[in-house]
């Protein structure tokens, strides 16, 4: 149980790191398909941001599959937020729910 809590903590800390200081203003603005930075395709920024998250998940879990899943799902969640389907609180709740799911998969399916 302690190992599961440790992994969850590291995933959440990695999420905070990747979503705030590592995202920066360029990616935060550039990933918005409704108001992209002129001359920069929004998907370059969106996928780059999601890849940072996927990389963090991979580094913590040592699972390429969970890292790839995080990249794909993070892209979809952030696209929905930029599409104004939901706000920041729902966006962050969905990201946290993914981290819980990764821990469950890691300790029940992948081990």
pLDDT tens column, 2-38? 999 999 999 999 999 999 999 999 999 999 999 999 9
The two three-digit tokens of residue 89, written as one number: 């609180």
φ, ψ for residue 72, nearest 5 deg: -65, -50
Helix or strand or coil: residue 71? Answer: helix
The two three-digit tokens of residue 42, written as one number: 């929004």
Mean pLDDT of 94-102: 98
d(CA 111, CA 95): 23
d(CA 99, CA 70): 9
pLDDT digits (tens, 9 = 90+) for 40-96: 999 999 999 999 999 999 999 999 999 999 999 999 999 999 999 999 999 999 999
* pLDDT greater than 90 at residue 105: yes
Q: How confident is the model at residue 111 (pLDDT cuts 50, 70, 90)?
A: confident
């Amino acid at each position: 149980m302690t190992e599961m809590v440790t992994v969850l903590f590291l995933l959440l800390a990695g999420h905070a790191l990747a979503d705030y200081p590592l995202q920066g203003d360029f990616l935060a603005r550039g990933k918005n398909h409704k108001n992209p930075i002129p001359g920069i395709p929004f998907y370059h920024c969106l996928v780059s941001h999601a890849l940072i998250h996927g990389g963090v998940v991979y580094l913590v879990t040592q699972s390429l599959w969970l890292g790839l899943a995080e990249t794909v799902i993070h892209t979809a969640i952030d696209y929905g937020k930029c599409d104004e389907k939901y706000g920041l609180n729902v966006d962050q709740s969905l990201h946290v729910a993914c981290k819980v799911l990764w821990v469950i998969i890691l300790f029940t399916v992948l081990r």
